[in-house]
Structure 1
Amino acid sequence: MSQKRSIFEEVGDSPAQKPAAQPGLIDKGNKGARGMIRAWLVVLFVMVAAMIIVGGLTRLTDSGLSITEWKPVTGALPPMSAEAWDAEFSKYQEIPEYQLQNKGMSLTEFKFIYWWEWGHRQLGRAVGLVWAAGFAFFALTKRIPTGWTGRLALLGGLGGLQGAIGWWMVSSGLTGERLDVASYRLATHLGLAFVILGFITWYALSMGRTEKDLMQARRGREAKLFSMSTGMLHFAFLQILLGALVAGIDAGRTYIDWPLMAGGFFPPEPFSLTPVWRNFFEDPGLVQFMHRIAAYLLFVFGIVVWRRSRQSGNARTKRAFDWVAVMLFGQAVLGIVTVLHASPLHIAILHQLGAILLWVLILRARFLAQYPIEQSIRGS
């Protein structure tokens, strides 16, 4: 006996089957190995952060000019014999740094600075290989989520550009009367490293959540807080570039009193070089003064941003800005200690590590202002 049909059922030879639910465009965008890609990005993040620290140590130990040639492939092998070491040392003895500053250096002392620079370059090669292997694997196995191929390829392009800029920087110290690399080239090199680290951080944070979650979270974005944190990010980047200028000419070891400089607010004879623009890159007093003033302004602006974050209704967003404020204060203290102790290696590198942590914390707080994490009413 046939069953009674529903008045809403289409008449046909057989009962209509319920069609399977089809995912929307947002859900389709979730295809890909997001977890695996995020893990790969975290590995790249650690390696790039290590590159920045090793690069800082290379600069602080005056090791950056110990290798006078750029051989991206064959340069991966260090000298393997006494004759090879003598040949490398002979090349170094021809540049101004040796002739004007390190004349009489022994082969053992040369090996010390050589290994620092070789390690820095080797780590750069390792970063490139990890990126290339990961990108090729995810691309060939079609595991890259929709819309992410270009963004992940960008990391490799910036990495290649960074290698070229690294040599452009080193080459500035191999000719003429300059004892070190040009400070503005050092700032460019360090600045691009932080840009790469920033992209990796943002991508890793994005990969930690689904596209659907991000689209929904964006509806609750805090536009004003996002805009202010973007301004703070740019301000911090400027301060990082000024710090590179300080490191490039050892300006942190010239005026070691605080809050004054040589007993005054303004350093003595800040515009002694000609043309005038050179003073903003090469005068130790003026460069350190700019770094100090920018630090004060960044600190004040950071407090303003933190105060604005108190108005957020999201507990995790507020906590993220709390950590930014804590690290901002810590970095300011580290900067003062670095100056008062004439930038010893261990304190100076800790100050650089502080810059990395502050950079990442600002990016995380900015991300949460753009994509706040859902919370219950009780947690607001």
Structure 2
Amino acid sequence: MPHLKVEPFETKELDRLIAKEECLHFRAVPESEAPVELLGVELEGEPFLLEIKKHPEATVLRADKISRPLDVGRIKRCLAALAEKAGWKILHSNILESGRRPPLAAEAEKSIRDFESMHFPKRKVALEVGFGSGRHLLWQAERHPDTLFIGVEIHTPSAQQVLRQIRLRSLQNVWVVNYDARLLLEMLPSNLLEALYVHFPVPWDKKPHRRVISDAFVAEALRVLRPGALLELRTDSENYYRYALEVFSRPPKADFRVEKNRDLPVVSKYEARWRRMEKNIYTLSLRALEESPARLREFDFSFREPVDHSAIGRLPRKPVVGEDFFVHFGRAYRFSDGSGGIVECSFGSFDRPEHKYLIYRDGKSLRYFPERPVATATNARAHQKIGAILYGC
């Protein structure tokens, strides 16, 4: 990840820059003794946070994990501009643009927020969950130009690599979403998809609750698949196969099929390796049989009134657990000008939580950062609990 290592400096010096530069919004100091500060920035219309970590011999700046953009070039440009404006002496960096890598296909990058009111430009739509190298996703897109292929990948470098391939191949029918596929499914209209591919997901044998395939996932998949369309799972894991066999056999209104060592016209390098090792490859298919009712998503993630610093000081340190959701407040920071602050907040479903910040201006405003939560019923219930905690209800 792009970062700068510079000679130690007094971070208060940044306050003068914030007063002059529109792209710098705030500096936030931790309430605890942690050596990390946050700098609110905005570049090319996208807000995110930079971490400023102080060491005796150097200060390190990098994008934080929650808000960092998918386009690392944006982070590099931000760090380079900031270093120039601040006049820091750089000890080490990896922000130079080498020019050897092709740019990302920005038009193919979609955020989870885009799907709140999305127009799909093609009549046929297919989805691949966890596309990895993208070999299967790109192969399908090249051979079916009449279909829009949406690839969902939580691993950022994989998403970036496929966006470069989309640009190199001049593909116009692929979208890439760098997010949790389980949340994206909840955003899609009913009866939309021609196919849903889940090829070689992480088995998570020691943490089965983290598996992408579950009863809830299958129910959502059958909702978004049009009648006759398939959910296709491929796995080399015997444990995952046996687990999925049970999950796929439960829905009463779906056709279920199992195949062993079925060949595909395109395989990943990992599947090719497993074939050479003579491992079995299992394909489990579930076909939707009926049309699903439309889903209405009208959730309000605003806060009814602002809060002040005293409310943040009363936040519980332990997770608050509901029947199907949780809320956990993390590290709190205070703006250097004393006008408000920012606090880490994880919430929502146990197996697909949201990670956001809450930004408040004392007595004036309260909102999520960098954007509001995904519009799901579970997140809405967690949001109500967050409000109740903040307002002392």
| Class of the TM-score when normalised by the shorter of the 2 chains | under 0.3
**TM-score, scaled to structure 1:** 0.25
Greater relative contact order structure (CA < 8 Å, 6+ sep): 1
Instruction: Report the structure number with the largest CA radius of gyration.
Output: 1
**Higher relative strand content:** 2
**Higher relative helix content:** 1
